[in-house]
Amino acid sequence: MTTALTSNSEAPIVSVRSLLDIRRTHPRYKDIDPETRKAWLMDKIVYCNALNHMKPDANFIKVDTAALDEAMLHDRDIADLTAPEISFAMFHGTIGEYGEYYGLTPKTFVGFFREYMKTDVKYCATQDEKKAAEPERGSWVLERMEHHRQLVEKERAEAEVQEEADEALSGWKKSITEIIKHQ
C-alpha cells in the first residue's frame, strides 16, 4: 500500500476514541511505502533533535533513520503502530514524559515506543480493538448449539434409514428361507 504521509497523519491522540479513529483511518507503519516511510522518519528524527537543541550531522541522521526503521520493522508491535502514534511517542519521549534518556538514538526511540504502548490510552484502545475483532460470545455459543443440533438430527435420520434397510433385508432373508423350506 503506497501512501503519502501528509499533515493529517499528525492527528492528535487525546482519548481512546481518538486513538481508535486514528488506528482505523491511518495505515500501519509496516504498510507504508519504504521510501516515504524513511523520509518521514528522518523528518521526525530531525524534529526531535531540534526539540533538544541538537543539530547532528546529516550522515548520523541517515544512519539513525536506517537503523530505527529496521528496528521498528523487526518488532511486530511497533510495526503495527500508525504514523500519528509513532509521532506522538517520539514527541512525548523527547520532552521527557517517558523517563530520562541520554541522547536520541534508535535504541532510545524504540524505548519511547515501548513506553507509549504501556500508556493507559494505548492499553484501553488495544483492548477495545481486541473486543471488536472477537465474535460475540453469545452468538458463538448459539451457533455451536445449532450446529450440534443439526448433527444429532442428521445422525438420527441416518440411523432410521439404516433400521428400515436392516428390516427390509431381514424380511427378505426370511422370505427366501421360507421359500427354500417349502420346496
Q: What is the DSSP letter of 62?
A: H
Domain positions in the chain are 9-133, 135-183
Tell which residue, 92, 38, 34, has the closest CA to residue 68. Answer: 38
Which of 21, 26, 29, 23 is CA-nearest to residue 7?
Answer: 26
Dihedrals phi, psi of 15, to nearest 5 degrees: -155, 175
State how far the Cα of 29 lies from the Cα of 31, in Å rounded to an integer: 5
Contact 16, 128 (CB under 8 A): yes
Amino acid at 9: S
**6's torsion region: left (phi>0), alpha (psi -120 to 50) or beta?**
beta
Query: For each of the chain's 183 residues, which pLDDT tens digit applies?
Result: 334 454 445 667 777 788 888 888 899 999 999 999 999 999 999 999 998 888 888 888 899 899 999 999 999 999 999 999 999 999 999 998 988 888 888 999 999 999 998 988 888 888 888 777 666 566 667 777 888 888 889 888 888 888 887 777 777 666 667 767 766
SS3 28: strand
Of 148, 78, 82, nearest in space to 107 by CA: 78
Diameter of the chain measured on Cα atoms: 117
Burial of 58 (0-12, 13-18, 19+ CB in 10 A): exposed
C-alpha cell at position 182:
417349502
Q: Which residues pair with 28 in a beta bridge?
A: 82
